[in-house]
């Protein structure tokens, strides 16, 4: 930490209806591209989440980008329709205050022009300028906030947030704010342990991925957050690809054609991080979503080449599980124009 960043002008795009979401060229270049080589298989790809590379989504511990205001607007719309997207079991209130403190401290330290936090004992004063919020409250007293502490602060932070309680040598998903998910249901999974909520994932159990990942997560300590990347693909820049609404957005999966693939098909990147919380000893698990259209990718030659190779060599079970079967071929055909067969440089960053 230590470095601060100024924020770009916030964009006004939408993640539904007319889908006016669009990345600026700078936002494309700073994206956490998830492939460090030309093929993909599950791995426990954890690393420390600190001292991030300047000018990337890793630079600040809790990244805020040009889509912040638009994304928070979309979250509010989802919650208006379905309050079950934010749930917290009764024993998770302390973890909610921990989450509020962490997110407020991180944002105020990283982006002092946009956010500020003043603490005087338990009397706190929070200002969120992009969202026009000026809130005085008593830390630890939920009646002084318009929502519970967890919901209050995650309505002001991009990405989904899950809180994992540690008991019996396992992690239990006991709270969450989930409106930008890649097709999983918080309402169904809340209360499950680490192995249970991953039950539907193919191949990875057999490879021992979850056993090793759990071991790593249980060892995460305060002040040493960890991160990993995950990915899938989404038709249209829709943040809320929930199973709850799958019967509504599912038909769009069949709408990709060679003519529209460049602008209608998105690489959906999840920057997942893991933070040990000080009072509750729970782990906060933010899952931040970044969307890059195929045309966005093509502005970085290495990324377009690599995306082509990853999609071509993807095991069929993973393609089906990630829901890519309808459009994978069309994407491979379009991306092939950026792949001349020459080797790519190592690592995920642009050349």
Active site residues: 228
Ranges within 74-93 binding another protein (CB under 8 A): 84
Phi and psi dihedrals of 189, rounded to 5?
-90, -15
Of 131, 156, 114, 133, nearest in space to 8 by CA: 114
Ranges within 253-272 binding another protein (CB under 8 A): 253-254
Work out whether 326 is an interface residue with another protein (CB under 8 A): yes
User: Which stretches within 34-81 are classed as H helix?
Assistant: 68-81
Give kind and range of the element (H or E) at residue 126: strand 123-128
Options 170, 245, 319, 336; binder of another protein; rule CB under 8 A: 245
Options 98, 101, 160, 244; binder of another protein; rule CB under 8 A: 244
Give kind and range of the element (H or E) at residue 194: helix 194-197
- Choice between 74 and 244, CB closer to another protein: 244
- Choice between 37 and 205, CB closer to another protein: 205
**Shortest distance in whole angstroms from residue 219 CB to another protein:** 22
Work out whether 208 is an interface residue with another protein (CB under 8 A): no
**Shortest distance in whole angstroms from residue 90 CB to another protein:** 12
Query: Residue 159, Cβ neighbours under 10 Å: how many?
Result: 23
Work out whether 187 is an interface residue with another protein (CB under 8 A): yes
**Shortest distance in whole angstroms from residue 250 CB to another protein:** 3
Work out whether 192 is an interface residue with another protein (CB under 8 A): yes
Options 140, 191, 258, 278; binder of another protein; rule CB under 8 A: 191
CA 171 to mean position of chain CA atoms: 19
The token pair at 109 is 């330290």
Work out whether 250 is an interface residue with another protein (CB under 8 A): yes
Give kind and range of the element (H or E) at residue 172: strand 170-177
How far apart, in Å, do the first and last CA atoms of the chain sit? 26
Q: Which residue is listed with tokens 């889908």?
A: 19
| Residue ranges that bind another protein, judged by CB under 8 A | 84, 185, 187-192, 195-200, 205, 243-248, 250-251, 253-254, 326
């Amino acid at each position: 930490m230590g470095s601060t960043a100024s924020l770009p002008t916030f964009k006004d795009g939408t993640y539904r209806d007319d889908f006016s979401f669009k990345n600026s060229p700078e936002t494309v270049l700073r994206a956490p591209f998830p492939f460090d080589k030309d093929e993909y298989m599950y791995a426990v790809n954890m690393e420390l989440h600190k001292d991030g590379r300047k000018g990337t989504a890793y630079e600040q511990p809790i990244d805020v980008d040009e889509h912040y205001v638009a994304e928070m607007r979309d979250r509010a719309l989802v919650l208006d329709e379905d309050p079950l997207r934010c749930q917290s079991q009764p024993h998770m209130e302390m973890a909610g205050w921990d989450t509020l403190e962490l997110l407020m401290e991180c944002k105020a330290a990283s982006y002092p022009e946009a956010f500020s936090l003043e603490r005087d004992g338990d009397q706190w004063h929070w200002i969120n300028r992009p969202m026009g919020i000026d809130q005085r409250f008593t830390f630890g007293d939920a009646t002084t906030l318009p929502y519970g502490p967890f919901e209050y602060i995650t309505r002001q932070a991009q990405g989904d947030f899950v809180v994992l309680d540690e008991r019996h040598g396992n992690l239990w998903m006991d709270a969450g704010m989930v409106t930008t998910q890649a097709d999983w249901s918080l309402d169904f999974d809340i209360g499950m342990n680490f192995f249970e909520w991953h039950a539907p994932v193919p191949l990875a159990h057999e490879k021992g991925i979850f056993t090793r990942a759990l071991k790593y997560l249980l060892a995460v300590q305060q002040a040493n957050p960890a991160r990993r990347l995950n990915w899938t693909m989404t038709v249209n820049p829709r943040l809320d690809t929930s199973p709850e609404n799958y019967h509504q957005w599912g038909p769009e999966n069949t709408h990709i054609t060679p003519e529209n693939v460049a602008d209608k098909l998105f690489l959906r990147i999840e920057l997942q991080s893991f933070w040990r919380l000080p009072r509750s000893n729970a782990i906060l698990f933010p899952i931040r979503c970044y969307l890059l259209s195929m045309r966005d990718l093509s502005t970085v030659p290495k990324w377009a080449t690599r995306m082509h190779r990853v999609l071509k060599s993807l095991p069929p079970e993973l393609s089906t599980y990630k829901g890519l079967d309808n459009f994978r071929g069309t994407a491979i055909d379009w991306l092939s124009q950026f792949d001349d067969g020459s080797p790519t440089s190592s690592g995920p960053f642009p050349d």
